Amino acid sequence: MTRELLWLTLTVILTMVLWIPYTLDRLKVRGFKGTMANPSRDDLPQSPWAQRLYFAHTNAVDNLVVFAPLVLILDSMGTSTPATVFACATYFWARLAHAIIYAAGIPVARTIAFTIGFLAQAVLVLAVFGKI
> How confident is the model at residue 132, as a pLDDT?
86
Instruction: Quickly count helices (H) and strands (E) in the chain.
Output: 5, 0
Q: pLDDT digit string (tens) for 53-85?
A: 999 999 999 999 999 999 999 999 999 999 999
**CA 46/CA 35 separation, integer angstroms:** 11
Low-confidence ranges of the chain (pLDDT < 70): none
Chosen CATH of 3-16+48-128 out of 3.30.1950.10, 1.10.340.30, 1.20.120.550, 2.40.10.480: 1.20.120.550
pTM, entire model:
0.94
CA 8 to chain centroid, in Å, comes to 11
**CA 43/CA 72 separation, integer angstroms:** 41
